Amino acid sequence: MELFWYIVLVTMLAIYVVLDGYDFGAGIVHLFFAKKEKDKKAITSAIGPFWDANEVWLIAAGGVLFFAFPTLYASSFSGFYLPLIMILWLLIFRAIGLELRGQVHNSLWELIWDKAFGIASLLLALFFGVALGNVVRGVNLGMVENGVSTQEAHYFFLPLWNASFSPQAEQLGIIDWFTLFLGVVSVVALTIHGANWIIFKTNSSINEKLKKTVFILNFVLLALVVVSLLVWHIIEPDPFHNFIKYPLMWIFPIITFVGLFGLFKVRTFKKHGMGFLFSSLFLLGGLSSTVASIFPKLLPSTNDLNPSLTLNNVAAHDYGLSVGMNWFFIALVLVIFYMVIQYRVFKGKMDDVGYGEH
């Protein structure tokens, strides 16, 4: 039963990364590439009808975490309290940047909310990569200091960074060179993903430029992925033990590299949606590979005194998990029904939707 809800949780997070990931990427493209008003409107129109529905997957994942793995929920929301609040404010600014820009037709007003939308999108992409880095690196559960656990075994709290900026320090921070590196990987990957969505959903004048940019950034992404595999050995001496133990898990890295190498053909795709398909495969495969590498750990412990939070020691009681399954399938049918209708209504190019115009 725990495994079922674990798969549900990871699937929801993966869907969120793909769907809201193109929103973040579109915001980054909007910040750095959209100079003409027509292109800015095309980008916001391409994500306008979708962004709030896409965020529902993050809320749903939080609900599943609270219901199925309450210990992990309590531990994470206290330990990561500071960055979670920062992410909340960034989500707010991204949303109001989209909603308020068209309320007043004044160049200064529009510039302020354009920057709020773009910068918030960029920082969200960075912070979600940093968050993934914290999960795979682990945290100091129990706040062990000098070999003594000063708190309960599942409790921790992290400042933004520590004095050494090292992922191997006893007292860790949210941001160190390893988590920041994964944040950069996230920014590059989501920029590519957002650019592919804009190419797919608009006839913007910057689309050809975006194809060239995606091609160039894909070399950067490939280099970052290779380096990340090398530095992962510093954090985890045996990073591929799960893939050796469970050979079926190799499907996730294969999906990752199929998506990555497929993106090198972005300039030759006749169907505009192919680039988005391959960037989606890269994100799905990358997240799945990362999760598979630490399974069954959900939040590793960096000390030897307190055990990691695993699939088995943080799950709710079997009775509650089984009752929740009935409601889950009802909700799943409703969500699929809603998503199918939404994407059918807004299929095709969306340059003239006019999102945010008042």
> b/e per residue, 15-25, with b = 16+ CB within 10 A?
bbbbbbbbbbb
Quick one: which of 347, 37, 355, 348 has its CA closest to 203? 348
Q: What is the pLDDT of residue 50?
A: 86
CB 204 within 8 Å of CB 43: yes
110 CB-side CA count, 13 A: 15
Question: What's at 106, amino acid-wise?
Answer: N
Question: 29 pLDDT exceeds 70?
Answer: yes
- Give per-residue pLDDT as tens, 74-117: 999 888 988 899 999 999 988 888 888 878 888 888 889 889 99
Which of the two residues, 336 and 193, has the higher pLDDT score? 193
Tell me the C-alpha distance between 137 and 133, whole Å: 6
Q: What is the pLDDT of residue 24?
A: 94
- Give per-residue pLDDT as tens, 110-161: 889 889 999 999 999 999 999 999 999 999 898 888 888 888 888 988 888 8
Q: What is the pLDDT of residue 356?
A: 60
| Those residues with Cβ within 8 angstroms of residue 67's Cβ, 6 or more apart along the chain or in another chain | 316, 320, 324
> Poorest-confidence range of 9-23, 100-114, 192-206, 297-311?
100-114
Q: In which residue are the tokens 């529009």 written?
A: 110
For the entire predicted model, the pTM comes to 0.92
Q: What is the pLDDT of residue 192?
A: 96
Q: What is the pLDDT of residue 319?
A: 83
- Give per-residue pLDDT as tens, 274-303: 999 999 999 999 999 999 999 889 999 888
> Poorest-confidence range of 18-27, 175-184, 264-273?
264-273
Tell me the C-alpha distance between 62 and 40, whole Å: 32
Q: In which residue are the tokens 């750990």 written?
A: 297
126-to-191, 231, 275 alpha-carbon distances in Å: 11, 18, 22
Which of the two residues, 89 and 162, has the higher pLDDT score? 89
Q: What is the pLDDT of residue 354?
A: 67
Tell me the C-alpha distance between 93 and 35, whole Å: 21
In the three-class reduction of DSSP (H, G, I as helix; E, B as strand; rest coil), residue 165 is classed as coil
Q: Which helix (H) or strand (E) holds 298?
A: strand 297-299
Tell me the C-alpha distance between 18 and 50, whole Å: 12
